[in-house]
Amino acid sequence: MASPDAFSESSESPLLTVPEASRVLRIGRQLGYQLAHEYLASGGTSGLPVVRFGRKNLRVPRWALNELAETGRVVRLCDATPAGVSRAD
């Protein structure tokens, strides 16, 4: 198990805020939020992949943002398989 300080300020967090993800994609903050809400409204078929924590906190998984930036593919987070884990369908 990871130590409590495994994701300290000096290391990369596995989650980004919507403004941080927007900067990575070189889009405006407002467009980032529009795409995040589109993702939630579409059930994960389009937009910026986000996870909701509470009522107002949205976070973008770094690996899903990388997938979007590198391939243009929007990952449906509820269907994603973590790295190193095989799915038994």
Would you give per-residue pLDDT tens digits along the chain (89 residues)? 454 555 445 468 999 999 999 999 999 999 999 999 999 999 999 999 999 999 999 999 999 999 999 999 999 988 877 665 565 65
| Core vs surface per residue 55-85: b (16+ CB within 10 A) or e | eeebbbbbebbebbeeeeebbeeeeeeeeee
Domain range enclosing 20: 15-72
- Specify the number of domains making up the chain: 1
Predicted TM-score (pTM) of the model is: 0.77
Residue 84 resides in a domain: no
Can you list the positions of beta strands (E) in 1-89? Answer: 15-17, 51-53, 57-61
Residue 6 resides in a domain: no
Contacts of 59 (CB under 8 A, 6+ apart): 15, 16, 17, 18, 50, 51, 53
Q: Are 16 and 29 in contact, with CB atoms under 8 Å apart? A: no
